[in-house]
């Protein structure tokens, strides 16, 4: 129970980072944190039904659930790719607006457009 409470706390911290922090880079941190929290949740819960790693050699039985592990491989890679793309966009926004603050950027773009 404690481990899941900690994961929930981690998830909430990440989500708070996305919505409450004004710095774009910190928003991207938040996204990475919530991704990690969910990945750890899957692996943790999937590991409760077994005792050994899912590599079958003679005499290995009662392995953990390999399905969450395989699925989370995909989820981790996708998360990394999204983070890279988001950082590239943050870089462009910084170069055009001179700041990482999202409210400032929005204001500058509105002023330019109108």
Partner 1 sequence: MMKRQRVISFLQTFLALGAVLAVVIPVFLSDFPWPTSARDYLEAHGVADSGARNLVSAIYLGYRAFDTLGETIVLLVAVSGTIGIIAQSGVSLARGFGEEALDRKTASPRLRHRRTELIDVVTGKLGPIVLIFGLYVMLFGHLSPGGGFQGGVVIASGIVFIALGSKNEDSTRLQEAGMLARIEAAGFLSLILAALSGMVTGSGFFGNPLAGMGASPVSYIVILNAVIGLKVGAGIGFMCVAMMGRVE
Partner 2 sequence: MKPPDIMMAPVYLPILGAALAFCAKAFFQGRLGKGVEYAGVFVGLGLPWLALAWGLPLVLSGEALQIVMGNWFGGVGILYRFDGLGWLVILLGYSVATAAYIYALGAGPRGPGFSGIFLIQTAALAATAMTVDLFNLFVCLEVMGIASYILVAKSEKPGAFLAAFSYLMVSATAMVFFLIGFFGLYRLTGALSYQGIAEGLRSLPENGGIIALVSLSLVVAAVAIRVAVMPLYGWLPDAHALAPHAISAVLSGVLIKTPLFALSRILMVLPAGPEAGRLMGYAGAVTALAGVTIALAQKDTKRLLAYHSISQIGYVVAAWGAALALGVHTPAGLALMTAAFLHALYHALFKGLLFLTIGTTTDLAGERDVYLLRGAAGMLRRAGEKVPVTLVSFIMGALAISAIPPLNGYASKAALSYALKGTWQDGFLFLAGIGTTASFIKLSRIYWPVRKRAPAPAESAAGKTIHPAVQFSQGLLALLCLAGGLAGPLLSRFVMTLLGGDASPAASLPPQLFSLQNLQKTGLVAAGGIILFLLASTKPGKGLMHLIRRRPRGFQGLFLSFTLGLAGLSLWLFFQSRPVGW
69 binds, among partner 1, partner 2, none (CB under 5 to 8 A by kind): partner 1
Tokens of 26: 């910190």
- Residues 39, 93, 31: CA angle, nearest 5 degrees: 10
Q: Which residues pair with 101 in a beta bridge?
A: 23
The owner of tokens 């938040």 is 30
Binding characters for partner 2, 47-66, by CB under 8 A (x = yes): --------------------
Residue from the set 26, 29, 45, 99 that interacts with partner 1 by CB under 8 A = 45
Q: Which is nearer to partner 2, 59 or 111 (CB)?
A: 111
CA angle 107, 35, 65 (to 5 degrees): 165
Closest approach of partner 2 to the CB of residue 19, in Å:
5
């Amino acid at each position: 129970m404690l481990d899941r409470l900690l994961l929930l706390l981690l998830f909430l911290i990440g989500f708070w980072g996305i919505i409450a922090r004004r710095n774009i880079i910190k928003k991207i941190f938040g996204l990475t944190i919530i991704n990690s929290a969910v990945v750890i949740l899957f692996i943790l819960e999937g590991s409760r039904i077994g005792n050994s790693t899912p590599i079958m050699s003679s005499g290995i039985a009662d392995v953990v659930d390999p399905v969450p592990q395989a699925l989370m491989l995909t989820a981790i890679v996708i998360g990394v790719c999204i983070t890279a793309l988001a950082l590239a966009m943050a870089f462009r926004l910084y170069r055009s607006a001179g700041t990482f603050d999202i409210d400032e950027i929005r204001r500058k773009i509105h002023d330019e457009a109108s």
